[in-house]
Amino acid sequence: MAVILVVDDEEPIQELLKFNLEKEGYQVLMAADGSEALRILEEKQPELVVLDIMLPGISGLEVLNQIRKTPKFVELPVIMLTAKGEEIDKVLGLEIGADDYITKPFSPRELIARIRARLRRLKPSEENNDILRQDLHIDLDRFRVSVRGEYIELTPKEFELLRVLATYPGKVYTRDELLERIWGYEYAGDTRTVDVHVRHLRQKIEKDPSNPEYIETLRGIGYRLKG
């Protein structure tokens, strides 16, 4: 399994993450400050880093900055971990190059799901029948969808609707186009069918269906998957 470096100066957090990650089969390396983290990075070259912003000595943001300035670590997934809730910290971390951000207190299950999603992106699909879009994974052969590492149960029409939108992210589909592609001519004109299925789909894959991060509505036109 993957080697994960956890950088946090709080012993209870270290123990919590080490226990849960090892239970999932990951090999876990620990660092309590930025200097130790940079040394372990050079020596062990882990496949993912969970990095706290508030560290003694070198801050987590500075560690992240040095990671992104090192060519061999440019693509290394980094998930920021912090007790701070201010937007400025999130913005700084993401601008420097963090891949994800989670705030303490957190659910170990959620963090593990995010780790799985990030690690999955590092591995090329062995088949051509997988669609990967951000944290969205569509397995066409097995009729399975996962979001942020968690499997989601969809109806056949919901699955087909998501597949069509995800095949060409950014492309706008009118309601009539979606009706023709997914339901056939017998539904022509009944665009409410599309709206209902989009609403149900959002309820299943979006963190906040009222502020969707995947399926975007273009009023008076139709829908698209954000590219």
Residues 7 and 118 in one domain: yes
Of the candidates 81, 83, 106, the one whose C-alpha atom is nearest the C-alpha of residue 93 is 81
Which of 122, 145, 166 is the C-terminal boundary of a domain? 122
- The domain boundary, picked from 122, 146, 161, lies at 122
Which residues are 103's β-sheet partners? 82
Shared domain for 84 and 27, answered yes or no, is yes
- On whether both 97 and 155 belong to a single domain, the answer is no
Tokens of 77: 């997934």
What's the domain range around 102? 3-122
pLDDT in the model for residue 225: 92
Mean pLDDT of the chain: 84
Lowest mean pLDDT segment, chosen from 90-104, 178-192, 213-227: 178-192
Domain boundary among 68, 103, 122: 122
Cβ burial of 10 (10 Å; 0-12, 13-18, 19+) is: middle
pLDDT of residue 47: 93
21 and 113 assigned to the same domain:
yes
Model pTM score:
0.54
User: 112-127: per-residue pLDDT in tens?
Assistant: 888 988 887 766 444 4
User: Do 211 and 108 belong to one domain?
Assistant: no
Do 136 and 220 reside in the same domain of the chain?
Answer: yes
Residues 143 and 109 placed together within one structural domain of the fold: no
Q: How far apart are CA 183 and CA 195, in angstroms?
A: 13
Give me the CATH number covering residue 180. 1.10.10.10
